[in-house]
A = this chain, B = another copy of it.
Amino acid sequence: MNFRAPPWRHQHLLDVAGLAADELARVLELADDMAASLRTRTRRDELAGQRLVTLFSEPSTRTRLSFEVAARALGAEVSHLEPPTSSLVKGESLVDTVRTLAALGADVLVIRHRRGGAPALAARHFPGHVINAGDGTHAHPTQALSDLYTLRRRLARGLSGARVTILGDILHSRVARSNAWSLTTAGAQVTLCGPAEWLPDIATWLPNLAERVAGGASPPAVRVTTDIDTALSEADAVMTLRIQNERLSRTGGTRARASRLGPSPAEYVRRYRLTSQRLALARPDAIVLHPGPVNEGVEITREVSSGPRSVILDQVANGVPVRMAMLALLSAAGAATGSGARD
């Protein structure tokens, strides 16, 4: 850490919603340092002697492993509590598990949970640092920070004013919500596109958007559309979301809407799958993102996901230095303020 840098203000990382534009910039800048250390295989010691525990109630290879690699690269020890081996199987509450982990010496807790708000609940009972690794439909802050880092590196025009289109089941996607928040904070213009059943009400989904985005953006910082051609037009980046099968309707139109399901698989593919033809509507140098794992042939064709515009593997690779940056910032916060530090 640069000794002139002010201490990080946050004990936990529960949402990108709490991060100001200068804080986002600081994460990305530190991630550049971390990426340099990874390239030269230089071991760092920001988390030496600390213990990170992952507590995932949903499996996720890439996210869990990304945290593991990042934490070890900073000198931390890592332990995993997978659902089948966790005390959760005995019916212990999340709060009791969290208190137990603190008593066992955990310094950082990385939580993925089916329920939105679970990491925030855990944070109220954990003296160290809690990182939200995805909670229900609420937030996935480290994914959004990784995507922001990837976009900053790959967009020639930078983040400010960049047009980023997010495609899919926006309403139920923690990735979409966190990205919409951080992108608008960083000055990008976001277009959310998908079937009407899956589009959110912006006023409640991204509260205080107008106040938050400096000066009241013109054109507006976020727009919503069901028309993919409109959404892709002039886009600098297209982010496709993974479609959850259980959100798709097997019975079609009217009944699906009635039950809050989306279109049938065939209808979704016909109207929203990102193909090379559709991608041609975006800017010539537009890049394609996906949080992974990809349902090939559903939300995106293999030609696009494995094509030259795809930065999907960059997103995975960038997740490591970005998570290193967040871990180092949180850890320094604890040390600087005393909060979260235990003796």
Chain A interface residues toward B at CB < 8 A = 38-39, 41, 43, 49, 51, 53, 56, 59-62, 64-66, 68-69, 72, 77, 79, 81-82, 84-93, 96-97, 99-105, 292-296, 313-314, 316-317, 319-320, 343
Contacts and interface: CB of A to CB of B under 8 A. Distances in A.
Contact of A96 (B84, B96, B294, B314): B294
A62 B49 contact: no
Contacts of A43: 49
Contacts of A319: 104
Given A59-B87, A66-B104, 17 more contacts: A38-B105, A41-B49, A59-B84, A60-B87, A61-B81, A61-B100, A62-B104, A64-B85, A69-B104, A82-B84, A91-B295, A92-B293, A100-B293, A100-B313, A103-B314, A103-B317, A105-B320
A93 B61 CA distance: 13
B104 A86 contact: no
Contacts of A293: 87, 90-92, 96, 100
A320 B61 contact: no
Given A51-B69, A79-B68, A294-B96, A87 B62 contact: yes
A104 B41 contact: no
Contacts of A79: 65, 68-69
Contacts of A77: 72
Contacts of A102: 313
9 contacts: A61-B88, A62-B104, A87-B292, A87-B293, A90-B293, A91-B293, A93-B296, A100-B313, A102-B313
Contacts of A294: 92, 96
Nearest to A64: B85
A100 B316 contact: yes
A79 B90 CA distance: 23
Contacts of A62: 87, 100, 104
A158 to B, nearest CB: 24
A60 to B, nearest CB: 7
A313 B99 contact: yes
The 7 closest A-B pairs by CB, nearest first: A103-B316, A61-B87, A92-B293, A103-B317, A41-B49, A103-B313, A59-B85
Contacts of A87: 59-62, 292-293
Contacts of A82: 84-85
Contacts of A320: 104-105
A34 to B, nearest CB: 12
A198 to B, nearest CB: 20
Contacts of A49: 41, 43
A174 to B, nearest CB: 16
